[in-house]
Amino acid sequence: MQHPAIASAAVVGVKDSKYGETVGAFLEVRTGAEKIGPEKARAWVRERLAYHKAPVHIFWVGEGESVKALPLTGSGKVQKEKLRGLANSLVKGGDRGSKL
């Protein structure tokens, strides 16, 4: 399942005082594609998955964004534990990404 404007995505749990955890998505825009808005991204997910699985927080990845690149292991896998910590730090620090 891939949106045509998104080159890569990673989803992690983000601490939430009400629900315990909510969905946070790190999205990297495909080269040459126009960056989609957070509501369009959520709507796209909701058309394919259950409503509650859509990201509450969206963090953009790339030049000029809070996150320059997804942290990867030597074998190219996303380091989700690092992303989870980064998401929680960004939310706690006031950069909530594009919040629902």
pTM for the whole thing? 0.89
Beta bridge partners of 74: none
The per-residue pLDDT for range 57-99, each reduced to its tens digit, is 999 999 999 899 999 999 999 999 999 999 999 999 876 565 5
Residue appearing with tokens 């998401």:
87
Sketch out the chain's domains with CATH numbers: 6-92 (3.30.300.30)
Range 14-19 average pLDDT: 95
**For residue 94, what pLDDT is reported?**
72
**For residue 93, what pLDDT is reported?**
83
What are 38's two structure tokens?
């957070």
pLDDT classification of 100: cutoffs 50, 70, 90? very low
| 18 vs 100: which has the higher pLDDT | 18
